[in-house]
Amino acid sequence: MISPFTYFPGAGRGFQRLVSNCWLLCLFLLSLASVGHAEPSAANNAEVEMGRKIYMEGMRPSGESLKGMRQSSVQVEGATAACETCHRRSGMGSLEGNIVVMPITGRFLFATAENRPLALVDPREAKNVTRAHAPYNDESLGKAIREGINVSGAKMSPLMPQYALTDVEIKAVSSYLKQLSSDLSPGVGESSLRFATIVTPGVDPQKSKVMEDMMRRAFEQRNASQQTYSGRMRSPLDLLPRTLRNWELTVWVLEGAPETWAAQLAEKYRSEPVFAVISGVSTTTWAPVHNFCQQEKLPCMFPSVALPPVETGYYPLYFSRGVTLEAEVLAKHLRSEDKSVPKRLVQFYRDDEVGRGAAKALTDALKDFDIKIENRALDDKDLAHLKNTLKDISSKDAVMLWLQSADLTAVSKAAPKQVPAVAYVSGFLAAENYSFISKAWKPNVRVVYPYELGAKREKNQQMMKGWLKTWQLPLVDEAFQSEVFFNVLFLTDLSSQMLDNLFRDHLIERAEDMLSFGSNVSAYPFLGLSRGQRFASKGAYIARFGKDGKLGADSEWLVP
């Protein structure tokens, strides 16, 4: 469950919950529900590395695959037998349906009565926290792993495999767990929690300003909500003991060519370590930021970018695959049109990373389809002579306009009287600005639209619009601002449920768990993640303009 965001005016249950259909191959359910803190282990690096391979990779020191047997006589082996499969890389456990996998890091397993940390084990139930029990030692941990008997002498879940590990291997796993998620992540101070947002060159200053203003207002509001005073409404999570930390925001503005961004990010991060990157905006490549976050194990939460890298990582999360998704949705739509598809499709795009990436994605998606594709990359010189570029477009052709609003306006002004059979427009790049469309072209224009439409869209946006009005912030770009709003809303619930377990890996895992129930507090119809997924929205509509001038769906929601 994602708790109500009680800090935003008018916020009710902003996140819609759906039960996840996914399940873990190995529910390594060590019901070792302890809470506490362990003294640092004196084990050497070789022992910890041995334990890491067992825990993360399901590999024994001999090089053999780890094997486990459940009470149901089902054997698991190798990566599916690894502890990480269910207890996650942070060791903080997981949630799958109604199965809760408990934390097993050293500070929980080897706890003392005097110092017991808390973890919320089920985000749907704010009072469902880890339970106290006697501390484990290497002997009792070995019995739990080998025999499925916990420290209290009770049988553990039948889903918990039993492993025939040696004393040396048990000690190695114990040593690894003692250091796993033992220290709070960079960016976490005694009384502060620092975040960054990132702006790349070429972003409209109005957009970057409204993003920063929204985030600063949300941070101020969240910090003020921590103050205790008579009569304040408090949620069950507020009542759990924790260290109160004020959120701090730093804005990393990048300059120059993308190949210089890594060095800029490294210097900014060295000067101001942050716990995570939240939101951010770019109209060009995001790859250097993506790579930096992956390298530094720095969560990068849902930036507003049109072209995320093709290769995903563990730490960056995205709203969608951007123009690549649009290209694949359009390809699926064209294939379904069958005989009515024009024989030629002409793609117009800016000769930059986003334009080239979009055109390539559509070309690749239609490579075995019976349609001729022509690609026409435009630069400023070409835009000044568009009439020559457009003059051979006929009523038998389709065109795809991978262009932003300024370029779309230039195309419209230079367009010949001859209207193409259909003109597709990128919803991401058009940014809700369709004023360029002439009366003659409008009936033939289709928008590959990655957002919700009509009354459902309006309902999803009510909370954000009310909040903007309260804080007297302008509505500049609804879809973009809905992404920023989602980030601060989601982050508030996310950090509340993490309590004092401020580990970066756990942040990513908790995001996956929370979004496994889904959310629609954004311009998107639905945002959801299951474990390992990194794109929360997975489809788009083909939309057209109605007689009232408003966009409406011309297709079902298409997921390629």
Q: Is there a common fold for 192-229+242-320+458-509 and 323-449+542-553? A: yes
Domain 192-229+242-320+458-509 has CATH 3.40.50.2300: yes
CB 551, CB 453: distance < 8 Å: yes
Q: Mapping DSSP to helix (H, G, I), strand (E, B) and coil, where does residue 162 land? A: strand
Least confident residue range of 126-140, 283-297, 327-341:
126-140
Q: Which regions of 254-407 does DSSP assign to beta strands (E)?
A: 276-278, 281-282, 300-301, 304-305, 316-317, 344-350, 372-378, 397-402
Residue 525 is given by DSSP the state S
Residue 39 is given by DSSP the state P
Residues 412-463 have pLDDT tens digits of 888 777 889 999 999 999 988 888 888 888 999 999 999 999 999 999 999 9
User: pTM of whole model > 0.95?
Assistant: no
Question: Higher confidence at residue 484 or residue 97?
Answer: 484
Other Cβ atoms closer than 10 A to 380: 10
Q: Which CATH superfamily includes the segment(s) 323-449+542-553?
A: Response regulator (3.40.50.2300)
User: Is 80 exceeded by the pLDDT of residue 175?
Assistant: yes
**Residue percentage of the chain with pLDDT more than 90:** 67
Show me where the domains of the chain are located. 45-179, 192-229+242-320+458-509, 323-449+542-553
> Interior CA angle at 204 toward 199 and 209, to 5°?
65
Q: Torsions phi, psi of 509, nearest 5? A: -65, -40
Please enumerate in sequence order all residues whose Cβ is within 8 A of that of 416, keeping only pairs 6 or more positions apart, or say none: 387, 390, 391, 393
Per-residue pLDDT band for 126 (boundaries 50, 70, 90) equals low
CA proximity to 197, closest of 96, 108, 90, 305: 305
Q: How far apart are CA 495 and CA 237, in angstroms?
A: 11
pLDDT at position 43 is 45
User: Is 60 exceeded by the pLDDT of residue 13?
Assistant: no
Question: Higher confidence at residue 337 or residue 233?
Answer: 337
Residues 74-118 have pLDDT tens digits of 889 999 999 999 999 999 998 777 788 889 999 999 987 777 888
